[in-house]
């Protein structure tokens, strides 16, 4: 009977919309802020790196703290406070008249982003029925995927027509829509445990999801090579618009996430995760031997299948492994691993590309994926998939 529990409730639709608007506002600045640094504030590429990187650093620092507060102070109140800050800092970009002010605003944005992205995912995991958690978290993840496709395109369109002031204002309005959707959620808060309020390392990080976090870290280590160097690789292959890679990748994610979640709910993680690891490794191998647009796009499709399986499955497994009052800490732990993987991967694999070139870099990424696959099937595949909440 549990399989028949309703998934598309009012609260679930609202948390998906909360995520959609929040991520769209976030992606508004991914492609446009570097232009603001160079064109308006007359900064250089080094300044761009600092401005972009400080958000990731602050988000990583705050995620474990956000998980603790979500579990002890209540989900909705923490995320509402963080989203208010998110809205205000987005519109405050209009006041960034120097690189220093922009750097400080970006740091504050990173703190609010760490809280809002961790918190929204935790609320979603509370709302989704336990028996449909894989499917539900797969659908929830589509909001971020859709935002990744729509946000940059819409922001560049607005920038071209109206300029940066309108762009920042529009981004804050979209963030405010996210806040409005969150306020409409009426579901009851998860009760906390008195033991959970004692402060220790385990208050901020959840040990039961460390192995899953390690898997996610190494998987996203390879994704760092995509976000940092795929544009340069497209130029090497004489592909005019590297954005086609992310568009095709996003479409593949849209199709595979719900399907993968249903398989996880019915049959457990082992079969679907094996398909995910093989797909992801194959995508990097195909990318490494690409000579033109056909294999470039084929790699994006296969990569979307791999990431579309692995990331939501690991998140659903992490949520199943802990009690409801520890979901914030669990999400904070695995999202910290995700951010660290992308950040460290961008740096380390950049050194690799300087030595061997981009095609060999992507081939190496395919072999790096052996590490998380071994970790998963030796540490996690045999663990019981009992749902603790």
Q: What tens digit of pLDDT does each residue of 35-65 get? A: 888 889 988 766 776 787 788 888 888 988 8
167 with 79, same domain: the answer is yes
Model pTM score: 0.77
CA distance 44 to 213: 35
Domain boundary among 200, 224, 249: 200
Q: What is the pLDDT of residue 99?
A: 92
Q: Which of these ranges, 25-39, 76-90, 363-377, has the smallest mean pLDDT?
A: 25-39
Question: Do 140 and 277 belong together in one domain?
Answer: no
Tell me the per-residue pLDDT of 352-361, one tens digit each, with 9 for 90 and over: 888 888 899 9
Are 252 and 354 part of one and the same domain?
A: yes
How many independent structural domains does the chain possess? 2
What pLDDT does residue 6 have? 87
Per residue in 222-267, pLDDT (tens digit) is: 988 887 778 778 888 998 777 788 888 888 988 898 888 888 888 8
pLDDT at 23: 93
Q: Six-digit token pair at 201?
A: 């390392």
Per-residue pLDDT tens over the stretch 319-350: 888 888 888 888 888 988 888 888 788 778 87
Q: Do 189 and 254 share a structural domain?
A: no
Residue 2: its pLDDT value, please? Answer: 43
Q: Is there a domain that residue 183 lies in?
A: yes
User: Are 8 and 258 in contact, with CB atoms under 8 Å apart?
Assistant: no
pLDDT the model gives residue 148: 77
* Long-range pairs for 92-101: beta carbons < 8 A, 24 or more residues apart: 93/29, 93/36, 93/164, 93/168, 93/171, 94/164, 94/165, 94/168, 94/169, 96/36, 96/41, 97/41, 98/41, 99/37, 99/41, 99/43, 99/47, 99/51
Report the chain's mean pLDDT, rounded to a whole number.
Answer: 86
The answer as to whether 389 is a domain residue is no
Q: Is the pLDDT of residue 21 over 80?
A: yes
Range of the domain at 75: 1-200
pLDDT value, residue 15: 95
Asked if 15 and 185 touch (Cβ cutoff 8 Å), the reply is yes
Residues 17, 155, single domain; the answer is: yes
Please check the confidence at residue 284 and state whether its pLDDT lies above 90.
Answer: yes
Q: 3-class secondary structure for the chain?
A: CHHHCCCCCHHHHHHHHHHHHHHHHHHHCCCCHHHHHHHHCCCCHHHHHHHHHHHHHHHHHHHHHHHHHHHHHCHHHHHHHHHHHHHHHHHHHHHCCCHHHHHHHHHHHHHHHHHHHHHHHHHHHHHCCHHHHHHHHHHHHHHHHHHHHHHHHHHHHHHHHHCHHHHHHHHHHHHHHHHHHHHCCCCCCCCCCHHHHCCCHHHHCCHHHHHHHHHHHHHHHHHHHHHHHHHHHHHHCCCCCCHHHHHHHHHHHHHHHHHHHHHHHHHCCHHHHHHHHHHHHHHHHHHHCCCCHHHHHHHHHHHHHHHHHHHHHHHHHHHHCCCHHHHHHHHHHHHHHHHHHHHHHHHHHHHHHHHHCHHHHHHHHHHHCHHHHHHHHHHHCCCCCCCCC
Examine the domain organization and report whether 154 and 211 are in the same domain.
no
In this prediction, residue 1 carries a pLDDT of: 37
Using the predicted structure, report yes or no on whether residue 20 has a pLDDT greater than 70. Answer: yes
Question: Both 65 and 166 in a single domain?
Answer: yes
Looking at the chain, the whole-number percentage of residues with pLDDT higher than 90 is 43
Q: Is the separation of the CB atoms in 371 and 222 below 8 Å?
A: no
Largest CA distance in the chain: 62
Rounded mean pLDDT, 142-147? 86
If pLDDT is split at 50, 70 and 90, which confidence band does 145 have? confident
We report the CATH number of the domain holding residue 70 as: 1.20.1250.20
Instruction: Look at residue 186 in the predicted model and tell me its pLDDT.
Output: 86
CA 145, CA 156: separation in Å to the nearest integer?
18
Residue 171, domain member (yes or no): yes
Per-residue pLDDT reduced to its tens digit, 67-81: 888 888 888 999 999
Burial grade of 130 (CB within 10 A; 0-12, 13-18, 19 or more)? middle
- Domain limit, last residue, from 141, 165, 200: 200
Q: Of 185, 200, 215, which residue constitutes the final position of a domain?
A: 200
Same structural domain, 24 and 163: yes
d(CA 60, CA 58): 5
For residue 387, is it within any domain?
Answer: no
Give the percent of the chain with pLDDT over 70: 92
Which class for 302: exposed (0-12), middle (13-18), buried (19 or more C-beta within 10 A)? Answer: buried
- Please answer whether residues 368 and 247 qualify as being in contact, where contact means their C-beta atoms are separated by less than 8 angstroms: no
Are residues 82 and 227 both part of a single domain?
Answer: no
Query: Are 167 and 283 part of one and the same domain?
Result: no
Does one domain contain both 149 and 222?
Answer: no
* 245 and 192 in a common domain: no
Q: How far does the chain reach from its first CA to its final CA, in angstroms? A: 17
CB 11, CB 127: distance < 8 Å? yes
């Amino acid at each position: 009977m549990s399989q028949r529990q309703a998934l598309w409730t009012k609260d679930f639709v609202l948390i998906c919309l909360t995520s959609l608007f929040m991520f769209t506002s976030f992606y508004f600045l991914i492609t446009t802020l570097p232009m603001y640094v160079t064109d308006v504030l007359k900064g250089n590429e080094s300044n761009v790196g600092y401005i972009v990187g400080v958000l990731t650093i602050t988000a990583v620092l705050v995620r474990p703290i956000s998980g603790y507060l979500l579990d002890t102070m209540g989900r909705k109140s923490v995320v509402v406070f963080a989203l208010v800050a998110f809205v205000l800092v987005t519109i405050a970009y209009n006041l960034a008249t120097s690189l220093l002010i922009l750097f400080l605003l970006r740091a504050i944005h990173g703190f609010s982003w760490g809280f809002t992205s961790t918190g929204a995912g935790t609320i979603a995991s509370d709302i989704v029925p336990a028996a449909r958690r894989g499917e539900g978290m797969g659908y929830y993840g589509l909001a971020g995927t859709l935002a990744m496709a729509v946000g940059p395109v819409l922001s560049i369109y607005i920038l071209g027509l109206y300029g940066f002031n309108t762009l920042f204002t529009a981004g804050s309005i979209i963030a405010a829509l996210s806040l409005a959707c969150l306020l409409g959620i009426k579901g009851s808060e998860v009760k906390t445990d008195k033991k959970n309020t004692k402060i220790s390392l385990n208050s901020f990080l959840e040990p039961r999801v460390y192995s899953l976090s390690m898997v996610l870290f190494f998987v996203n280590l390879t994704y760092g090579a995509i976000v940092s160097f795929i544009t340069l690789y497209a130029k090497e292959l004489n592909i005019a618009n590297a954005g086609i890679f992310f568009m095709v990748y996003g479409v593949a994610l849209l199709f595979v996430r719900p399907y993968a979640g249903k398989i996880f709910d019915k049959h457990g993680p082992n079969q679907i995760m094996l398909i995910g690891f093989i797909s992801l490794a194959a995508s990097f191998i195909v990318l490494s031997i690409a000579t033109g647009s056909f294999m470039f796009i084929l790699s994006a499709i296969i990569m979307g299948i791999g990431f579309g399986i692995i990331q939501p499955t690991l998140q659903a497994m992490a949520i199943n492994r802990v009690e409801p009052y520890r979901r914030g800490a669990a999400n904070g732990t695995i999202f910290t691993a995700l951010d660290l993987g992308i950040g460290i991967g961008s740096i380390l694999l950049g050194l690799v590309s300087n030595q061997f070139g981009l095609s060999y870099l992507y081939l190496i990424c395919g072999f790096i994926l052996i590490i998380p696959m071994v970790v998963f099937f030796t540490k996690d595949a045999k663990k019981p998939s009992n749902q603790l909440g």
